[in-house]
Amino acid sequence: MLKIRLQRIGRKNDPSFRAVLTDSKNSTKSGKFLEILGTYNPKAKEKDRETHFETERMKYWMSKGAKLSDTMHNFLVRQKAIEGKYINVLPKKKPTKKRKELKAKK
């Protein structure tokens, strides 16, 4: 299955990303991809965040069956390239267990 997701590029402590079309079985760090679909630089100033996505090309690949990662979905919703709700990409927090509860279980 094809996926459109972000791939980290750049040096240590200087992140920048590119949106790539890749097979979902490839890991994010493998470097294997079929096509570059845009770039994202989070270090740029807030108003001037550099996001350049080829939305027409992404829509083409989505029509062919490619799936978006949750983060890419949120980017395209924010740019109003597609319609939909934001997807929560933050990890779910588990409630902390107290020490007494842990000792009682043992």
Beta-ladder partners of 53: 38
How high is the pLDDT of residue 103? 59
How high is the pLDDT of residue 4? 92
Q: What residue ranges of the chain have pLDDT lower than 50?
A: none
pLDDT digits (tens, 9 = 90+) for 1-20: 899 999 998 888 888 999 99
How high is the pLDDT of residue 31? 76
Q: Are 37 and 66 in contact (CB under 8 A)?
A: no
How high is the pLDDT of residue 100? 60
Q: What are the domain boundaries of the chain?
A: 2-78
Q: Which CATH superfamily is domain 2-78 in?
A: Ribosomal protein S16 (3.30.1320.10)
| pTM, to two decimals | 0.74
How high is the pLDDT of residue 44? 79
How high is the pLDDT of residue 90? 85
How high is the pLDDT of residue 3? 92
